[in-house]
Structure 1
Amino acid sequence: MRPLRIAVLLKTNHGGLWIIPQVEELRRRGHEVVAILPPGSGRLTEELRRRGVEVHGSPFDFRFRPGIATLRGLWQLRRLVRRLRLDVLNYHLYASALAARFATVGLPLRRVHMVAGPLYLESPLIRATERLLWRLDHVTICGTGYTSRLYGALGCPALRRPVMTYGVKTAHFANPEGSASREETRAKARAELGIEEDVFLAIMVAYVYPPRKLVFQGRGIKGHDVLLSAWQAFHEQHPRARLLLVGAGSSPAGEAHRQELVGRFRIDRDTSVTWLTSVADVRDCYRAADVSVSPSLSEGHGAACEASAAAVPSIVSDAGGLPETVDESTGWVVPRGDATALGFALRSAYREFVGGQLQARGERAQEFAVRHFDNRTAAAGVADIVEAACRTAAGRP
């Protein structure tokens, strides 16, 4: 097919680095790709420009406040899109999707929505709205099978809601070939973290998000409270165990919630729990760990893919797409919000740790991640879907 002009629209210029492999794959195929991001500097803006991708500042601030300013911003975004003479507008994150849909109604381009996480669809209000608005997308690429099923329940036909993960750079998390053995890198990582060689180490890698009013009765969506409740009971029976939490608050409100958790669970007095708000390289934390825990109340694929790529088996909740990240030979699935069930899974992982079977489970998890979640394979799948959306358009090649 002829080269396409494609714009990627996001409401952030700092996060969203997971679009980079997709942008590069589209460019590799000969398509012209630009980005529309909030004005100013940010990690994403800088990385795209470093790679030679043209970045345009969005005239719309992605805040939908009643008033003339919102209408003016959407109109200016529409003018920018028209000036770019696009074949495809590809957008990620829900505020970006709303802006893209409203600003481009009637324009002769294909709208491709890629869904990073399902949280917004778990709000009854937004779900009712989305029952109508998904029709403005020519295709909705669902990052998980769970998200695709949610859109199916809203009436979206299967052909318009294909599943394609964002994936992770699996080679980045694997122990590099020719480097020290896994045992040696594990020992080094533990020494740097101050964790004894023979203890069982569970890890949770996640930002702390503030409780949401519209979902989960005001609880934090990542399930830190669930894990900390389970851990207290587990550690009483297994004193040779440590828990490593990695992640700061996602915002000032998120950090306030993190501090509330520290106080509620007396983490500052619990020597079995270490909470790092930032690390130079999260791979060192995974290399030290025996099991990863993702107890979220809502999630896409989350950190379980990273952990698996690093050969660490995972305990995940049954929320969202998390059950898609493990099978019975690579991890455990427990009901969301159930601290008792999570404690049982921790004990099962501990038994395998003591019996010497847990490392083999991690190796199977790594094979599973390479097969299902490698971001290069995922990027090629996204490019296939974008091209197919243009082939089905009237008058397109």
Structure 2
Amino acid sequence: MGNLRIAILLRTAEGCLWTLPQIDELRRRGHEVIVILPAGPGALRERLRERGVETVDSPFDFRFRPTPGAVRGLWRLRRLLRALRPDVLNYHLYAAALAARAAAFRLPLRRVHMVAGPLYLESPVVRPVERLLWRLDDLIICCTQHISTHYRALGCPAERRPVAQYGVDLGHFDPARVGSTGTADPAHATARATARASVRAELGLDDDVFVALMVANTYTPKRIAFRGRNIKGHDVLLAAWRDFHAAHPRSRLLMAGVGFTEAGEAHRRRLMDRFADDRSVVWLGRLPDLRPYFLAADVNVTPSLSEGSNGVVREASAMGRPSIVSDAGGLPEAVDGSFAWIVPRGDAAALGEALATAHRAFVAGELDGMGRRAREHALRAFDRTAAAEAVADMVTGRPAADRAADLPVP
């Protein structure tokens, strides 16, 4: 297959960092990659600049309104695509998918939609529309089997909805590789104990305190699905925690993350005010390095109402931490019963019972064994390089037979 010119359309210059390993792999193969982003600074733009990846400002602001300005923006995006002349247009997040489908209609290029989460597919308003619109994609790469199943229900054939997950940097998220030196302790024990003790000392926590960690930014309640609810489940966990902590006073809940937008931060502040009387909840905000906090915690908790593959659960597993997860989206696909508990989404009582079960395992000294099994699972299932290679094959349209030829003969 010859080298291709690949345009990647994203609706954010800040997030979507999961695309970086995919972009690296595409460029490693000799393909030319151009990334179209909203104007303005952001973490993603900076990381792309460091890599020497060409970026272009999108003339469309990804706001779909019945105004002449929106129509002009889409038309200018179409002109930009015609000027760039890509062989492939790859897009992530639903607003970018809608823009790409409209702007690239009938242009001579391959259209590849990679789906990071199922929220729009859970909307009774959007789902019937998507039943028609998915046909404008040549390929829909689903990051979980759960998303692929949604598209099957919409009539999409199996060959047009393959599954390729987002991977984890298993070298970085390693219990034996912490701190600024990047050195590893082969036995894991020294690094793990040092990081755990340091963070616990910083937070004033003794080693016999049971610590749960939730890592998630706060989003404003959505209108298209789970109307009025916080989709990451902060309120569900906080409600469950009150009863759990009353029965287990030597416990703490660490809440890491900030508001995704100004409105999301305002929602987080309202949650903090609502639970201000509970001193067992520690609001950490943004953490530059999650690894010491994973090690300081005894269990990771992800109580989402809607979820894609969820990198936090995968990172927690890579760091040797068991998890409590809801049954939302692809979360059950990321864990198994040997190192995790799965509860119904939105069920605070069930979540509280899982916390109590994890606490009993903590007291019995069983969590370390579960953590080792979590790390072993991550090593088998979440390798970032393999995940990026699979996505690159799909984006470029490499035939499945060619991919199979790379596999070792049994």
What CA distance in whole angstroms lies between the structure 2 residues aligned with 1:183 and 1:42?
Answer: 35
Aligned partner of 2:289 in structure 1 is 281
Write out aligned runs for 1:377-388 (5 A): 377-388=386-397
Deviations 1:293-325 (A, max 9, x none): 010100112221111111111100001111111
Question: Structure 1 residues 255, 117: CA separation in 2 closer, same or farther (over 3 Å shift)?
Answer: same
Show the counterpart of 1:44: 44
Q: Which amino acid aligns with 2:304?
A: S
Number of positions where the alignment pairs a residue of Structure 1 with one of Structure 2: 390
**CA separation of 1:391/1:317 partners in 2, compared to 1, >3 Å: closer, same or farther?**
closer
In the alignment, the residues of structure 1 paired with residue 320 and residue 400 of structure 2 have an alpha-carbon distance, to the nearest angstrom, of: 40
How far has the Cα of 1:383 moved from its partner?
0.6
Q: Which moved more, 1:109-118 or 1:246-255?
A: 246-255
* Aligned twin of 2:232: 222
Match of 2:405 in 1: none
SS in 1 for 2:18: helix
Equivalent in the alignment of 1:206: 216
Report deviation, 1:388.
Answer: 2.2
Q: Match for residue 314 of structure 1?
A: 323
Counterpart contact for 2:143–2:308, Cα < 8 Å = yes
* Aligned-residue offset at 1:166: 1.6
1:328 alignment partner in structure 2: 337
Within 2, Cα distance between the matches of 1:6 and 1:282?
33
1:111-147 deviation line (CA, Å, top 9, x unaligned)? 0000111111111111111000000000000011111
Taking the aligned partners of 2:331 and 2:14, their CA distance within structure 1 comes to 25
Distance 1:388 1:88 in 2: 9
Displacement of 1:155: 0.4
Shift of 1:168: 2.1
Deviates more, 1:383-392 or 1:11-20: 383-392
The one-letter amino acid paired with 1:327 is D
Q: CA deviation digits over 1:211-263, x for unaligned, max 9?
A: 12232231111111111111111111111111100112222222222222223
**Aligned-pair CA distance for 1:18:** 1.1
Q: Per the alignment, in what secondary structure is the counterpart of residue 124 of structure 1?
A: coil
Note the alpha carbon deviations across 1:8-46, whole angstroms, 9 max, x for none. Answer: 110111111111100000111111111111123222112
Separation in 2, partners of 1:19, 1:36: 13
Asked if 1:340 corresponds to 2:349, the answer is: yes
Distance 2:74 2:113 in 1: 17
Q: Secondary structure at the match of 1:239?
A: coil
Indicate the SS of the match to 1:17. coil
Task: Give 1:155-166 correspondences, 5 Å limit.
Answer: 155-166=155-166
Question: Which of 237, 247, 251 is the equivalent residue of 2:247?
Answer: 237
- Taking structure 1 as the reference length, the TM-score comes to 0.95
CA distance in structure 2 between the aligned counterparts of 1:184 and 1:95, rounded to whole angstroms? 44
Structure 2: runs of 5+ lacking an equivalent: 178-183, 402-410
Match of 2:124 in 1: 124
Contact kept, 8 Å, 1:110 with 1:389, in 2: the verdict is no
1:305 aligns with 2:345: no
The residue aligned with 1:248 is 258
Q: SS at 2:227's partner residue?
A: helix
Structure 1 contact 21–376 (Cα < 8 Å) conserved: yes
Please tell me whether residue 73 in structure 1 is matched to residue 73 in structure 2: yes
Secondary structure at the aligned position of 1:73 is classed as helix
Q: Deviation digits for residues 158-204 of structure 1, max 9, x if unmatched?
A: 11001111222222111222373322221122122322211110000
Preserved contact between residue 253 and residue 281 of structure 2 (Cα < 8 Å): yes
Mapped to 1, the partners of 2:288 and 2:227 lie a distance apart of: 34
- Residue 82 (structure 1) shift: 1.3
Separation in 1, partners of 2:207, 2:288: 21
Is this contact kept in 2: 1:113–1:139, CA < 8 A?
A: yes
Q: Tell me how large the CA RMSD over aligned residues is.
A: 1.6
1:269 match: secondary structure? coil
Partner SS for 2:205: coil
Matches of 1:44 and 1:390, distance apart in 2: 30
Question: Does structure 1 residue 10 correspond to structure 2 residue 10?
Answer: yes
1:264 deviation in Å?
Answer: 2.6
Distance 1:347-1:116 versus aligned 2 partners, 3 A rule: same
The aligned counterpart of 1:193 is: 203
Matched, 1:109 2:109: yes
Distance in 1 (CA, whole Å) between partners of 2:91 and 2:203 is 39
TM-score by length of 2: 0.92
Report the residue type matching 2:143 in the other structure: G
SS in structure 2 of the partner of residue 217 of structure 1: coil
For residues 93-123 of structure 1, give each alpha carbon's deviation from its aligned partner in whole angstroms, at most 9, with x where no partner exists.
0010001110011111000000111111111
Q: Which amino acid aligns with 1:132?
A: L
Q: How far apart are 1:390 and its partner, in Å?
A: 8.2
Retained in 2: the 8 A contact 1:167–1:378? Answer: yes
Instruction: Say which SS state the counterpart of residue 181 (structure 1) adopts.
Output: helix
Paired letter, 1:100 = A
**In structure 1, what is the equivalent of residue 379 of structure 2?**
370
Correspondence for 1:350 among 350, 359, 372: 359
2:268 paired residue among 258, 261, 281: 258
- What are the Cα deviations for residues 328-365 of structure 1, in whole angstroms up to 9, with x where unaligned? 10101000111111111111111111111101101111
4+ runs deviating over 4 angstroms: 389-392
SS in 1 for 2:397: helix
Q: What SS does the corresponding residue of 1:226 show, helix, strand or coil? A: helix
